[in-house]
Amino acid sequence: MLHRPRRQGLLAGLTALTLLASAACTADTPDPAGSTSSTGPTTTPGTGSTTGPGTPSPTPLTPGDPLPNLPAELTPGVSDDAVTDQTYRISLSVPRIPQTPGLTRWLVGQRDRTASTFRSDYGPAKSPTSAELNGDWRLIGASPQVVGVRLSRMELSGASTVDLDTFVWWDVAAGRRIPARGLVRGDAWSRLSAEVTRRLGERADPDDLKARLAEPEAPEGAGPAIAFLRDGRMWVGFEPGEVAPYSEGAVSVVLPRAVGDALLSEQGSAARDAAVKPTAVGRPTTSTTAPPTTPTPSTTARPVDCTVERCVALTYDDGPGAHTERLLSTLRSKGARATFFMLGEQASRYPEVVQSVKNAGMEIGSHSWGHEQLTAMTPGALRSDLSRTNQTLSQLTGTPVRLVRPPYGARTAQVDKVSGELGMAEVLWDVDTLDWKYRDPGRLPKDATSAVRPGSIVLMHDIHRSTVDGAPALIDALQKKGYTLVTVSELLGSTQAGKTYSRR
């Protein structure tokens, strides 16, 4: 019994493994019994599940993404190979790794197929709320023997947000991809299947699960993907709708280290080690850890009077994401503060980044759960969406959410009313950098500084690598003009719930 919706185009055409990372979450401490997880519209991952006789009870999981995000320096000479199409609102980036030309060709081909399918599905963009496709990558394993790359894509439309992740393991010496089955000993796949089946229990439809376990992973099929947590445990994940009702979201299992290790092939062990003890690709070293980073002091609160000073508020939407930490480093090093309007769905994927934003002295506001257009929601759905987002952000930061930015800036009297009842002021902007459109770090400082004036609120998106690349020059340019970069609340002084602000 197949649960996934009969949707053609991007999801069906790519057969991409949709692994919402909040479903892949697990505690960082070892869990002797292993873990299972799924993502649903209102359920905290790992809770409220039903287990059958003899099935290990799922352990509540820490919201977040436990899979590695290794520094690019482990692949010397790596560069971005990006496609930016303003006509169709597409920005997809994959790594070009000099040591693995075959992997680069595979990744570029996958990127181009993704872009082609999106163009066919949606056609040219006709408005700022037209569908948008953003894609980036992260390194999840690195060694002279094996490279692991995770391709993450986010499709935004007025009706929904879809997160697509594909995991690729590459044999450096052989110059070929390692499929999920290649990570497991030939005689152990049946044991892996049995472990996954036993641990999922009643969470999965037995017929669907059996069928998916017999298939290859994305993009060739809808079988499970395999990756490794930072502590070496094996993670096995399924696309939403493949083994459980689509409303349950992505479903994953984390196997205890001893169980997973016993199943691994030689290539699988190498992939695990590349995730846990990364070393430079094509350049063996004695180091067993990723290159250390020098911590940057937090930007602490300081008195600021925006009735006297030339204040400007930089704001970033749609995160947190893979580039947010780098943006934080830039802000802190330059003594600048900013406000981040976060999606609840992304916050649940990157809880550590949310906490980093908070600890750095930045401000956090709501941008809804999944970037759906709030004006199209019923009052009940609208309240549920914003409340769920606020709960997630408040749990991660320890502070209530007082600001909301409706996706696309779209608001109605109903949106104003519900926002006010939830204690939030609505924050729009008076300077739109159009960073989502141009994806050019070089023009960002010029475009922003030409339109900014004291009291401005500047709109940007920290999910775009180009925006983060352009942040140092933008901040330098504004500070050179005498602007003090502050949070929205510092700029406005005090706000009234239910009221809308676009500048001071």
From first to last of its 504 residues, what are the pLDDT tens digits of the chain?
444 433 333 333 333 333 323 233 333 333 333 454 443 322 222 322 333 333 333 322 333 467 788 888 888 888 888 888 888 889 898 999 999 999 999 999 889 888 888 898 888 988 877 888 988 898 999 999 999 999 888 888 765 666 778 899 999 988 899 999 999 998 899 999 999 999 999 888 999 999 989 988 777 777 899 999 999 999 998 877 788 886 777 788 999 999 999 999 999 999 999 999 999 986 433 333 334 333 343 444 457 899 899 999 999 999 998 889 999 999 999 999 999 999 998 898 888 899 999 999 999 999 999 888 899 999 999 999 999 999 999 999 999 999 999 999 999 999 999 999 999 999 999 999 999 888 889 999 888 889 999 999 999 999 988 999 999 999 999 999 999 999 999 999 989 999 999 999
- Contact between 311 and 492 under an 8 Å Cβ cutoff? The reply is no
CA dist., res. 352 & res. 66, Å (int): 10
3-state secondary structure of 80: strand
**Residue 235's Cα: distance from chain center in Å?**
17
3-class SS letters over 113-132? HHHHHHHHHHCCCCCCCCCE
- Whether cis (ω within 30° of 0) applies to the bond prior to 179 is no
CA dist., res. 448 & res. 465, Å (int): 17
Long-range contacts of 109-112 (CB under 8 A, 24+ apart): 110/151, 110/166, 110/219, 111/81, 111/83, 111/135, 111/151, 112/83
CA dist., res. 128 & res. 118, Å (int): 17
The CATH 3.30.565.40 portion of the chain extends over 10-276
CATH label, 311-501, candidates 3.30.70.260, 1.50.10.10, 3.20.20.370, 3.10.350.10: 3.20.20.370
Q: What DSSP line would sit under 322-358, residue for residue? A: TTHHHHHHHHHHTT---EEEE-HHHHHH-HHHHHHHH
pLDDT digits (tens, 9 = 90+) for 298-342: 444 457 899 899 999 999 999 998 889 999 999 999 999 999 999
Q: What DSSP line would sit under 424-456, residue for residue? A: -EEE--SEE--HHHH--TTTHHHHHHHH--TTB
pLDDT digits (tens, 9 = 90+) for 112-132: 888 888 898 888 988 877 888
The encoded tokens of residue 117 equal: 């399918």
Instruction: Pinpoint the alpha helices (H) of 155-237.
Output: 189-200, 206-213
CATH label, 10-276, candidates 3.40.50.620, 3.10.310.10, 3.10.290.10, 3.30.565.40: 3.30.565.40
Closest among 454, 197, 489, 224 to 339, alpha carbons compared: 489
- As a residue count, the chain comes to 504
- The phi, psi pair for 60, rounded to 5°, reads -55, 135
Q: Is 268 exposed, middle or buried (0-12, 13-18, 19+ CB in 10 A)?
A: buried
Query: Which residues have CB under 8 Å from 13's CB, separation 6+?
Result: 117, 121
CA dist., res. 504 & res. 310, Å (int): 11
Please state, in angstroms and as integers, the Cα–Cα distance from residue 205 to each residue in 272, 300, 426, following that order.
29, 51, 43
- Contact between 419 and 393 under an 8 Å Cβ cutoff? The reply is no
Please state, in angstroms and as integers, the Cα–Cα distance from residue 179 to each residue in 166, 185, 352, following that order.
12, 12, 30
3-state secondary structure of 176: strand
CA dist., res. 35 & res. 429, Å (int): 43
Helix (H) or strand (E) holding 383: helix 379-397
pTM: 0.59
The CATH 3.20.20.370 portion of the chain extends over 311-501
Query: Which residues have CB under 8 Å from 107's CB, separation 6+?
Result: 81, 94, 95, 137, 149, 151, 168
Please state, in angstroms and as integers, the Cα–Cα distance from residue 2 to each residue in 50, 182, 194, 206, 210, following that order.
20, 26, 20, 11, 12
N- to C-terminal Cα distance for the chain? Answer: 56
Give the Cα-Cα-Cα angle 404, 406, 411 (nearest 5 degrees). Answer: 120
Instruction: Pinpoint the alpha helices (H) of 201-265.
Output: 206-213, 257-263
Question: How many C-beta neighbours within 10 Å does residue 194 have?
Answer: 11
Instruction: Pinpoint the alpha helices (H) of 175-285.
Output: 189-200, 206-213, 257-263, 266-276
- The phi, psi pair for 391, rounded to 5°, reads -65, -45
Question: How many C-beta neighbours within 10 Å does residue 28 have?
Answer: 12
